[in-house]
Amino acid sequence: MSTFADAFPRDTNRVPFTAYGMLTTTPTTLTGSSATVNVPLWHVTGTVLITGLFGVVTTDLGANHTAAAWRINDQTAQVYLTAVGGVDLSGKKAGSLVVKKGVVATAASAIDNVAGAILEPTTLETMMFSQVMVTKKTGAVTDIEYHYATTDAPTSGVIQHWCYYVPISRDGELTVI
Protein backbone atom coordinates (compact mmCIF):
# COMPACT_ATOMS: atom_id res chain seq x y z
CA MET A 1 0.00 0.00 0.00
CA SER A 2 1.27 3.48 -0.85
CA THR A 3 1.95 6.01 1.84
CA PHE A 4 1.61 9.76 1.66
CA ALA A 5 5.40 10.07 1.28
CA ASP A 6 5.23 7.96 -1.93
CA ALA A 7 2.91 10.55 -3.50
CA PHE A 8 5.82 12.91 -4.20
CA PRO A 9 8.64 12.09 -6.62
CA ARG A 10 11.83 11.78 -4.54
CA ASP A 11 15.53 11.21 -5.11
CA THR A 12 17.50 8.30 -3.61
CA ASN A 13 17.76 10.24 -0.32
CA ARG A 14 13.95 10.62 -0.29
CA VAL A 15 14.23 14.37 -0.93
CA PRO A 16 11.34 15.67 -3.09
CA PHE A 17 12.30 16.74 -6.60
CA THR A 18 12.09 20.28 -7.79
CA ALA A 19 11.88 21.52 -11.38
CA TYR A 20 13.15 18.79 -13.73
CA GLY A 21 13.98 15.96 -11.30
CA MET A 22 17.18 13.97 -10.78
CA LEU A 23 20.20 14.72 -12.94
CA THR A 24 22.75 12.33 -14.40
CA THR A 25 25.56 13.10 -16.83
CA THR A 26 28.16 11.28 -18.90
CA PRO A 27 30.82 12.44 -21.40
CA THR A 28 31.14 10.83 -24.84
CA THR A 29 34.40 10.94 -26.79
CA LEU A 30 33.59 10.64 -30.50
CA THR A 31 35.88 8.55 -32.71
CA GLY A 32 33.61 7.00 -35.37
CA SER A 33 34.98 6.48 -38.89
CA SER A 34 33.02 5.13 -41.88
CA ALA A 35 30.36 3.79 -39.53
CA THR A 36 27.12 4.33 -37.69
CA VAL A 37 28.04 4.54 -34.01
CA ASN A 38 25.80 3.86 -31.01
CA VAL A 39 27.33 4.89 -27.69
CA PRO A 40 25.60 3.51 -24.55
CA LEU A 41 25.08 6.33 -22.02
CA TRP A 42 22.76 5.04 -19.29
CA HIS A 43 21.24 1.72 -18.18
CA VAL A 44 17.49 1.94 -17.53
CA THR A 45 15.83 0.07 -14.69
CA GLY A 46 12.12 0.19 -14.03
CA THR A 47 10.28 3.15 -15.54
CA VAL A 48 11.53 6.73 -15.63
CA LEU A 49 10.09 9.96 -16.96
CA ILE A 50 12.80 11.82 -18.85
CA THR A 51 12.10 15.51 -18.33
CA GLY A 52 15.20 16.89 -20.07
CA LEU A 53 17.78 15.35 -22.43
CA PHE A 54 20.60 17.38 -23.96
CA GLY A 55 24.29 17.41 -24.81
CA VAL A 56 26.89 20.14 -24.55
CA VAL A 57 29.84 20.05 -26.95
CA THR A 58 32.93 20.37 -24.72
CA THR A 59 35.58 19.69 -27.39
CA ASP A 60 35.01 20.86 -31.00
CA LEU A 61 33.36 18.20 -33.19
CA GLY A 62 34.94 16.93 -36.39
CA ALA A 63 33.64 17.80 -39.83
CA ASN A 64 31.90 14.45 -40.28
CA HIS A 65 29.27 14.02 -37.54
CA THR A 66 25.76 13.47 -38.91
CA ALA A 67 22.44 11.82 -37.96
CA ALA A 68 22.86 12.66 -34.25
CA ALA A 69 19.98 11.21 -32.21
CA TRP A 70 19.16 9.43 -28.95
CA ARG A 71 17.53 6.02 -28.76
CA ILE A 72 16.65 3.15 -26.42
CA ASN A 73 18.26 -0.23 -27.09
CA ASP A 74 16.95 -3.36 -25.36
CA GLN A 75 19.50 -5.51 -27.25
CA THR A 76 16.73 -6.72 -29.60
CA ALA A 77 14.90 -3.58 -30.69
CA GLN A 78 15.89 0.05 -30.92
CA VAL A 79 13.33 2.78 -30.26
CA TYR A 80 14.36 6.33 -31.07
CA LEU A 81 13.79 9.17 -28.60
CA THR A 82 14.41 11.71 -31.39
CA ALA A 83 13.93 11.32 -35.15
CA VAL A 84 15.90 8.48 -36.76
CA GLY A 85 17.51 10.79 -39.34
CA GLY A 86 18.95 12.92 -36.56
CA VAL A 87 20.61 16.29 -36.85
CA ASP A 88 23.93 17.26 -38.45
CA LEU A 89 26.46 18.37 -35.82
CA SER A 90 29.46 18.45 -38.17
CA GLY A 91 32.02 21.04 -37.12
CA LYS A 92 30.09 22.33 -34.10
CA LYS A 93 32.31 24.21 -31.67
CA ALA A 94 32.65 23.76 -27.91
CA GLY A 95 29.65 25.37 -26.23
CA SER A 96 27.16 24.25 -28.91
CA LEU A 97 24.15 22.22 -27.76
CA VAL A 98 21.99 19.34 -28.98
CA VAL A 99 18.57 19.13 -27.31
CA LYS A 100 15.50 16.87 -27.31
CA LYS A 101 12.82 19.52 -27.41
CA GLY A 102 10.16 17.96 -29.61
CA VAL A 103 8.18 14.74 -29.85
CA VAL A 104 9.93 11.50 -30.83
CA ALA A 105 9.33 12.04 -34.55
CA THR A 106 11.20 15.37 -34.35
CA ALA A 107 14.95 15.63 -34.84
CA ALA A 108 17.03 16.89 -31.94
CA SER A 109 17.69 20.64 -32.11
CA ALA A 110 21.22 21.90 -32.70
CA ILE A 111 22.04 25.22 -31.07
CA ASP A 112 25.26 26.49 -32.65
CA ASN A 113 27.42 28.87 -30.66
CA VAL A 114 28.83 30.56 -33.78
CA ALA A 115 26.73 33.59 -32.85
CA GLY A 116 24.66 34.45 -29.80
CA ALA A 117 21.79 31.99 -29.58
CA ILE A 118 18.75 31.32 -27.44
CA LEU A 119 16.41 28.38 -27.09
CA GLU A 120 12.88 28.90 -25.86
CA PRO A 121 9.55 27.10 -26.15
CA THR A 122 7.30 28.05 -29.05
CA THR A 123 3.89 29.50 -28.34
CA LEU A 124 2.48 25.96 -28.62
CA GLU A 125 4.98 24.41 -26.19
CA THR A 126 4.77 24.72 -22.45
CA MET A 127 8.24 23.49 -21.49
CA MET A 128 11.79 23.78 -22.79
CA PHE A 129 12.28 20.01 -23.08
CA SER A 130 9.99 17.35 -24.49
CA GLN A 131 9.24 14.71 -21.88
CA VAL A 132 9.18 10.98 -22.62
CA MET A 133 8.54 7.91 -20.47
CA VAL A 134 11.03 5.03 -20.80
CA THR A 135 10.56 1.48 -19.48
CA LYS A 136 13.16 -1.25 -19.21
CA LYS A 137 12.39 -4.42 -21.17
CA THR A 138 11.77 -7.35 -18.83
CA GLY A 139 14.74 -9.70 -18.65
CA ALA A 140 16.92 -7.58 -20.92
CA VAL A 141 19.57 -4.90 -20.54
CA THR A 142 17.98 -1.65 -21.70
CA ASP A 143 20.19 1.34 -22.48
CA ILE A 144 19.78 4.91 -23.65
CA GLU A 145 22.30 5.46 -26.44
CA TYR A 146 23.70 8.36 -28.43
CA HIS A 147 23.58 7.55 -32.15
CA TYR A 148 25.59 9.25 -34.90
CA ALA A 149 26.99 8.50 -38.35
CA THR A 150 30.23 9.21 -40.20
CA THR A 151 31.29 8.48 -43.77
CA ASP A 152 34.84 8.09 -45.07
CA ALA A 153 36.45 10.58 -42.66
CA PRO A 154 36.64 10.04 -38.91
CA THR A 155 34.92 12.45 -36.56
CA SER A 156 36.28 13.69 -33.25
CA GLY A 157 35.27 15.76 -30.24
CA VAL A 158 33.47 15.32 -26.93
CA ILE A 159 29.81 15.79 -25.97
CA GLN A 160 28.77 15.90 -22.31
CA HIS A 161 25.29 14.32 -22.17
CA TRP A 162 22.81 15.40 -19.48
CA CYS A 163 19.52 13.78 -18.52
CA TYR A 164 16.96 14.98 -16.00
CA TYR A 165 14.54 12.27 -14.95
CA VAL A 166 11.94 11.28 -12.39
CA PRO A 167 11.64 7.64 -11.27
CA ILE A 168 8.09 6.45 -11.93
CA SER A 169 8.34 2.88 -10.66
CA ARG A 170 9.90 2.07 -7.29
CA ASP A 171 13.00 0.74 -9.09
CA GLY A 172 13.08 3.52 -11.71
CA GLU A 173 16.69 4.61 -12.28
CA LEU A 174 19.21 5.73 -14.88
CA THR A 175 22.74 4.53 -14.20
CA VAL A 176 25.78 5.91 -16.03
CA ILE A 177 27.51 3.25 -18.14
Percent of the chain whose pLDDT exceeds 70: 80
Q: What is the pLDDT of residues 58-80, one digit of tens each?
A: 999 998 899 999 999 999 999 99
- For the domain bounded by 25-114+128-176, which CATH number is listed? 2.60.120
Compute the residue count for the chain: 177
pTM: 0.81
For residue 98, what is the enclosing H or E element? Answer: strand 97-99
Q: What is the pLDDT of residues 147-157, one digit of tens each?
A: 999 987 788 99
Q: What is the pLDDT of residues 164-175, one digit of tens each?
A: 898 888 898 999
pLDDT > 50? residue 5: no
Residue 13 has a pLDDT of 62
**What are the sequence ranges of the domains in the chain?**
25-114+128-176
Residue 4 backbone dihedrals phi, psi, to 5 degrees: -60, -40
